Each structure stands twice: as structure tokens, then as C-alpha cells.
Structure 1
């Protein structure tokens, strides 16, 4: 563990960005953070540098991504189908199965050194979920968790019509995280019909605008998610870039 604790997080809004470009950027920040931690181990505490923390917000053009534990057959489109729907497909290094990203979906990529906060991946995932649950509550939408499943769900208690509104998939090495959450705000959920989302074929997917019956201001949603993340993770200094 680093001797120097740094709870400062830089929030960076990348706008609408190609998935590969965002992935490359994540990998760069992730690799720099891990390399710094390895370097610090060779230094006296007085000579160590604090590791940085980042929270990237982004929207992607239509894309399907398959995690390490996923099954390719959960993508229901062939190459022609992908081209018809103007969608790309990537196999990536996060946990989880297949999911969809697209315009109107707020994707959050935390590159956090959990040594600066807490070294508990289970807690980390639950706090990411909690930030979305609290944001939904700000809009009068009740959401929660379903035992045995990741992400944030509506109708999570009675489960008469359970539907996922936010998916999770993360990677961690040396307590540094990457990948994160995908929150459907104004998303075109018809694209989820081209996959078996997260390998779950008996539950639906929804978007905040569908639940409210009107389009949602994405900038307002970002502001609420940011504030909840700040409070839940007890982030000390925040730079909005």
C-alpha cells in the first residue's frame, strides 16, 4: 500500500467518443497508475509520489462489448447485421458478459487506485451501484439490486417485471480499477434486442427516459452521479476538466 494517500479525483468528460479511443485512453491512465505504484515500492516513503485517480464520463457510438467470461453466441448479429445497424463489436478485458453502449447512455470509467480509498472490490462495485441508485431516486425512480446479479435494477423487490437500467463490468490489478458502469439515460434500448444482455435472457432492459416518459437532461444526470460518487467514496478534492 502507498504511504501517500490521495483522494483527489479528476473528472474528465470525453463527450461522444469511439469505443476503441476511449479504451486506449483508459489503458494509458491505468498503465501509468500501475507503473507508479510499482516504482513506489522501490523508494523510501519520503520519495514516493501519490497515485492519481480519474473518473471518465463518455458516450459511445453504437458498440457491443464482450467480457472475458462472456459467450460469443450472446451476440445475435453477424458481420452484415453489425454493419446494417452501424455497430462495432469488441472483445475486451473486463469481467462480465456482453453489453451494449450507445448514444444516450452515460458510461463511467473510474481509474481509481483503491489503496487511496479501500481495498475491497465488492464494496467498490456496491458503491458504484449505489451512486446510480441515489441518482435514480433524485428523479423519483425506485431502484436497487437483485441478489446474485450485478448492476442496478427496477422492480427489484417484487420482480414482476424486473429490468436493468445500469450494467457493471470492471477490471482491477494491484488495486487499480478500469472499465465501470453503463447507465441508460436516453438510450435506444432496441439495440439490446441484438444481444442476450449480460447473458441474462429472462429479464428486460430499460432507460431512464422511458421510465419518466420524456427525454432527460444528460448534463443534469452527470452532475448528480458525480455528486453521489464524491460523497460515497469520500473524495476530497475534485477537479472538473
Structure 2
């Protein structure tokens, strides 16, 4: 039986506000699991798939190096960008308009309790979405995310991932470059990798895409791979 998952699109939302909303949902889900364990109950935990876009922002994960941000405060202001140290895994990345940011807040006890499989499944959904547009993407051994030409010197990243998981409840997620302004990646060492390029679907295909259409394809592949019933 497919697991019911609520789909929410926050559209363009400030990063800090989105983080606050995620934390609230995440905390409620973890609290419900704790209540079930304490009271020996089986109240069903909710699951969410959230899409959004953010104004220009750089975020640094728990294992990241602050020096991978190449801008000082004045330069950030000039770029109309913000910067946050956050509680996901991974190093530094960029979010901005033209990018599909996905925040699955899932109780993996409802799916499978394997964080590596979780990440690989999210990657596969992006790979299948790109295939719908004739783009051959894949994985780069040793690195999380989705890449093109991962097997040669032209390797370039199109989707970054960084998640948090506690008691098998997930938050944070992925950033998929559709029509993103790639110049903003020049101000960081993306994901701490200084010898690989970053790309977007627009750059690869030579035209701007309908982000709503790409979202629909990505939703379809995520729901299929995870056996979700989105509502």
C-alpha cells in the first residue's frame, strides 16, 4: 500500500522562514514518535514533501568549512545574498531562484530505515527527471548528489544534497539547478569540492525551462520510487 504524503509548495520563501517551518514540522513528528514509544501507542506519523525556491542564500552544513564561502559581509550585501550555518550534513551550497529546493520531512519508519538508500533514492528521482528531458545524469563515486559526465574530467554537479535525520525523521534535502544563476556558485567552493564544475538544466539544454513542469516530473518520480500517494 502506498504511504500518504502531503505535498506542499512554499513557492519563493526566505531561507530562515523555511528553516523555521521545517523545524516545527520535524519537532512535531519526533515528539509524536516519542509519545508512541512512551505510551506504547501507534499514532500515525505524518509525512511531507515540500518544494520551494529561496532568494539568494548560502548555507553551511555541520561538517563544512567557513572558508569555503569566498565573500565577506560587504560582498554578501552587494550580491543581495544571505548566509547561514545550519544543522544538516554536508559543506556549503547555494540556493536561489530558478532552483527546485526539496525538503522531504519523512518518518523513514514508514518507508525504509536506511539513510544511504534514502539519499540514493532521491538521487534516482532527479536522474529520472533529467532523463525525461534527454539528459544523461548519474552519480559520482564517493560524493552525494547528481552529476553529468561523472566518469570523466568534465564532471559537473547539477543537484546537491544534505540532510538531517533523527529517530528516522528527515529534514533538509536537495537543491536541483533548473534555471539557477550559476554565477553565484563562483562565490563558494561548492560542497567543498574545488576542482569540479556546477551546471543547470538551462545551461545543458540551452533554454530556460518551465520550473513548474520540472517540479511535476520530479514529484512523479519521487512518489513512484518511494511508493507515495501525494495529496
**Residue in 1 that maps onto 2:157:** 164
The CA deviation at 1:17 is: 0.2
Matches within 5 A, 1:6-25: 7-25=3-21
Q: Distance in 2 between matches of 1:84 and 1:238?
A: 40
**Residue in 1 that maps onto 2:183:** 190
**Residue in 2 that maps onto 1:35:** 31
Matches within 5 A, 1:216-231: 216-231=209-224
Instruction: State which of 140, 151, 155 in structure 1 corresponds to 2:145.
Output: 151
The CA deviation at 1:7 is: 1.6
Contact kept, 8 Å, 2:138 with 2:147, in 1: the verdict is yes
1:125 counterpart = 2:125: no
The CA deviation at 1:238 is: 1.6
Contact kept, 8 Å, 2:56 with 2:97, in 1: the verdict is yes
**Residue in 2 that maps onto 1:80:** 74
Q: TM-score, normalised by structure 1?
A: 0.94
**Residue in 1 that maps onto 2:230:** 238
Q: Distance in 1 between matches of 2:105 and 2:230?
A: 14
Q: Distance in 2 between matches of 1:32 and 1:225?
A: 27
Contact kept, 8 Å, 1:6 with 1:116, in 2: the verdict is no
Q: Secondary structure at the residue paired with 1:8?
A: strand
Alignment: residue pair count:
231
The CA deviation at 1:6 is: 8.1
1:108 counterpart = 2:97: no
Q: TM-score, normalised by structure 2?
A: 0.98
Q: Secondary structure at the residue paired with 1:133?
A: helix
The CA deviation at 1:212 is: 0.5
RMSD: 1.1
The CA deviation at 1:200 is: 0.2
Q: Distance in 1 between matches of 2:224 and 2:86?
A: 30
Where has structure 1 moved over 4 Å in runs of 4 or more? Answer: none
Q: Distance in 2 between matches of 1:43 and 1:101?
A: 41
Contact kept, 8 Å, 2:2 with 2:227, in 1: the verdict is no
Q: Secondary structure at the residue paired with 2:3?
A: coil
Residues 179-206 of structure 1 show CA distances to partners (whole Å, capped at 9, x for unaligned) of 0000000000000000000000000000
Instruction: State which of 35, 48, 58 in structure 2 corresponds to 1:54.
Output: 48
Alignment gaps of 5+ in structure 2: none
Q: Distance in 1 between matches of 2:172 and 2:40?
A: 32
